[in-house]
Amino acid sequence: MDSDFLPFTRPSLGEETVSAVADVLRSGWITTGPKVAELEQALAAYLGGERRVLALSTGTAALEAALAACGIGAGDEVIVPAMTFAATANVVLRAGARPVFADIELETRNLDMSRLEEAITPRTRAVMPVHFAGLPVAMDALYDIARRHRLRVIEDAAHAIGSAWNGRRIGGFGDLVCFSFHANKNMTTIEGGAISVGDPELLPVLERLRFHGISRDEHGQVDVTVAGGKMNLSDVCAAVGLLQLPQLDTFNARRRALATRYLERLAGDVPGVLPARGNEGHSWHMFTLLLPFAELGMARHEFQQAMRRRGIGVGVHYPALPDFTLYRELGHRAEDFPVATRVGRETVTLPLFPGMAEADVDRVCDTLRRVLEEAA
């Protein structure tokens, strides 16, 4: 890859991380062990110190475990936004339940709370909102609706580690809050995830679910009481996370500064829709712009290729779920979710990561304008 190429994301890892991983490898204890326990305690303290946090192998595993712990399965419905990563809906299907889509807001890309209430039926057991790009959903409205309809809330906070709502960190309150620490997230454990648990009665079952359903009595005798999976995090991954977490607020502050520069540089003369700004509680996992490709006379992949030829990587986050074959075959129709469908067909993800300079943002904006001008 050209050294001048600017990807849409890149993890912030240094030699200290390499040394920490090497130390774990030399220790002889490389699977779940003391580093995982230390990371769980550090995450709990970071989120506010009042809840237990369980580390898991991926953010997807965290969502699956949360659904299983809530007893959600065949005959149940779970409401998810119609535009998000496929995992959010896929885990519902894998649980044997039915994902029910609700449309999103154009600028926030978050679940539209008026559409959420319309989607509730007698079979609805839970709602799974996504804090898209680190911008928290309308938490007060969300939990008011959930309380009135007696629904579990499983927050997909894959984008939102370090985000806050009214001064409280996402994951520091609420029902079940699931994080991802994949390599492209605001902090990483290479692969990994976590659940912040609001209901202490769910802790034992979640602990069993993440490792084969195994429990032990006071004599160390093993029993299996639930069909658990293999979802445990390794100490190798936890060692990475333990060095990432103290830097997270600095990473997120840098992301906010870069996003602000994007908003300033793109406002006014670039067609399309900019993402909602949010406030200091927005961790800016991604910067997504909507471009009216049909009006511009170019396809999205042509735009991506043109940017890439000029040394800039552009992602797509995300196509609308009802546009996917799997969900069309289940009877979902894209036209029923006009905002999500528009976002899914017009969205592009511009480079945003802490290692960028302001000059990188300027380069992206200038290149984007040139590409659009050439297409006109």
Active-site residue set:
185
Give CA–CA dist 185/317, Å, rounded: 13
Q: Which two tokens stand for residue 366?
A: 């200038």
Give CA–CA dist 367/352, Å, rounded: 15
- Cα-based angle 152, 158, 159 (whole degrees, multiple of 5): 120
Say if CB 80 and CB 101 are below 8 A apart: yes
Task: Provide the residue count of the chain.
Answer: 376
Phi, psi of 2 (to 5 degrees): -60, 135
- DSSP helix/strand/coil, 23: helix
- Cα-based angle 159, 85, 7 (whole degrees, multiple of 5): 65
Give CA–CA dist 62/229, Å, rounded: 11
**Interacting residues of 268 by C-beta distance below 8 A, sequence separation 6+:** none
Give CA–CA dist 38/239, Å, rounded: 9
Say if CB 58 and CB 191 are below 8 A apart: yes
